[in-house]
Every structure is written in C-alpha cells, then in structure tokens.
Amino acid sequence: MQTNIDTGFINAYNDFKGFGFIRRNKGKDVFFSIDDFNGEIKNIVIGLSITFEVVSKTKGPRAYNIRVTPEK
C-alpha cells in the first residue's frame, strides 16, 4: 500500500451522507468520509484548506488522516 502526504481544499461535501471530495493542489480529486478526519471537526465548509494522506483503493484514491491547515 503506497501513501503520500498531499494538500488541497474541500471541493464538495454532503453533510447528510458524511462524505465529499477534496481538490488536490496537484492531481485528481480525492474521495473522503467524515471519519477520515484526524480529530474532531465541527464544521466542514467548501474551500477549507487541509493536508491529508492518500491511499490507492480499488475504487480510486481516498484521503485519510485529514487535518485542517492552520490559518496564517
């Protein structure tokens, strides 16, 4: 299993279903679930900057260990 750390932002999110997609700074969009966040997240909004790891799955890349990027 190959993993790497990446950066991007929340591009789409369905609060009712608890999943969405991350727009990577480089590469294709990545699927994520609310359970893939590292720690408690109270409010997922479109445009939220994040760092994450990516794992290749049979259905495509998936983000995990997602962390909100601190504002500067």
Residues 8-23: pLDDT tens digits? 999 999 999 999 999 9
User: 25-49 in b/e burial notation, b at 16+ Cβ within 10 A?
Assistant: eeeebbbbeeebbeeeeeebeeebe
Residue 14, domain extent: 3-68
Q: What is the pLDDT of residue 43?
A: 85
Question: For residue 39, what pLDDT is reported?
Answer: 79
Interval 43-70: pLDDT, tens: 899 999 999 999 988 888 899 999 998 8
CATH number of 32's domain: 2.40.50.140
For the entire predicted model, the pTM comes to 0.85
Total domains present in the chain: 1
pLDDT in tens, 27-46: 889 999 999 998 778 789 99
